A and B are shown apart, each in its own frame.
Chain A
Amino acid sequence: MNARKSDTANIDNPETWVDEYGDFLYRYALSRIKDPSVAEDLVQETFLAALRARENFKGRSAGRTWLIAILKHKIVDYIRKKIREPSSDKIETLSDLADTDFNDHGGWQIRPFKWAINPAKIYEQKEFLDVLYRCLAELPERLAEAFMLREMDGLSTEEVCKVLDITATNSWVMLYRARMSLRRCLENKWLSAGQ
């Protein structure tokens, strides 16, 4: 039995879902939502939605990919609800995050280094991925949410604006700040580690 068939067979068997996919889904949820109890709730909601939609699955994709797609929606729903509550790091307080990169004339204060990395072969760069993950964890919460919705979940900027209840201009500023912060963090932590 190949891996794909085996994965589909697992999906046909909800009794095995917790052992088969539970940890992976939980870690995924925890990487976005830092609260373990919320992460567990989201996994539960994902399994429930999967149970209801099981008839429509029909093995069109790997079971894990299908469950992750459901979980992503649950995470987005959760963030959307949470964002209605006041947030501590408003965009105004983030305004100077990227300014330290440039001098008064808009030239580079600290010049970007050449990264010995091929984006097409990023999967070979395990250390780069590890450091990027650590850098993501250090981003202010709102920036991290905007960045992850856009780059990891593949939402359009319009969708990001709806989820975070921000204007298009704010979303571009936040994504810029996030990319600049990640760039700087990677230069400090990944390059200084000798790549």
Chain B
Amino acid sequence: MHWMFSCKDVSQLLSESMDRGLPFYQRVLMRMHLLMCKYCARCREQFEAIRAASCHEELHGKDLDDSRGLSNGGKERLKKFLENDLTGAP
């Protein structure tokens, strides 16, 4: 990696900085690049938005088709299973 980071380098470092601590010189050079490059600054904002959205509970358990729940047969099987376990039946 050259001492002057390219936008591609910076996009990689932006992502890595979300998963590990970067060495001091990489942090400094990345910040300098971000001050000068509005497109990489936008990339950082986009990564942050994706992270914030991924933590959101709305996304968890949500399926494209909201009607996709357990089938009636599946529910009955699970209820029977729980009932047997609670009563100690085989």
Across the interface, B63 reaches (CB within 8 A) one of A14, A30, A151, namely A30
Q: Would you call A183 and B46 a contact (CB within 8 A)?
A: yes
Known: A152-B55, A172-B16. A18 touches B75 (CB 8 A): yes
Nearest CB on B from A195, distance (A): 12
CB neighbours (8 Å) of A183 from chain B are: 43, 46-47, 50
Q: Is B36 an interface residue (CB 8 A)?
A: no
Q: Would you call A27 and B83 a contact (CB within 8 A)?
A: no
CB neighbours (8 Å) of B78 from chain A are: 18, 22, 40, 43-44, 47
Q: Would you call A133 and B85 a contact (CB within 8 A)?
A: no
Q: Would you call A175 and B15 a contact (CB within 8 A)?
A: yes
Of A2-10, A76-84, A89-97, A98-106, the stretch lying at the interface with chain B is A98-106
Which secondary structure dominates chain B's binding surface? Answer: helix
Q: Would you call B53 and A132 a contact (CB within 8 A)?
A: yes
Contact with A along B28-42 (1 / 0, CB 8 A): 000000000001101
Across the interface, B79 reaches (CB within 8 A) one of A18, A23, A102, namely A18
Contacts between chains A and B (CB distance < 8 A), count: 161
How many residues on the A side are at the interface (Cβ–Cβ under 8 A)? Answer: 63
Q: Which of A107-151 contact B (CB under 8 A)?
A: 107-108, 111-115, 117, 119-120, 122-123, 125-126, 128-129, 132-134, 137, 147-148, 150-151
Across the interface, A133 reaches (CB within 8 A) one of B20, B64, B83, namely B64
CB neighbours (8 Å) of B82 from chain A are: 14-15, 17-18, 47, 51
Nearest CB on A from B82, distance (A): 6
CB neighbours (8 Å) of A25 from chain B are: 61
Q: Is A57 an interface residue (CB 8 A)?
A: no
A10–B80 CA distance with the chains assembled, in angstroms = 18
Q: Would you call A179 and B50 a contact (CB within 8 A)?
A: yes
- Which A residue's beta carbon lies closest to that of B15? A176
5 residue pairs A–B, Cβ–Cβ below 8 Å:
A102-B6, A107-B6, A115-B46, A119-B52, A172-B19
Q: Which residues in B have some Cβ–Cβ distance to A below 8 Å? A: 6-9, 11-12, 15-16, 18-20, 39-40, 42-43, 45-56, 58-64, 68-70, 74-75, 77-79, 81-83, 85-86
Q: Which residues in A have some Cβ–Cβ distance to B below 8 Å? A: 14-15, 17-19, 22-28, 30-31, 40, 43-44, 47-48, 51, 68, 98, 101-102, 105-108, 111-115, 117, 119-120, 122-123, 125-126, 128-129, 132-134, 137, 147-148, 150-152, 154, 157, 168, 171-172, 175-176, 179-180, 182-183, 186
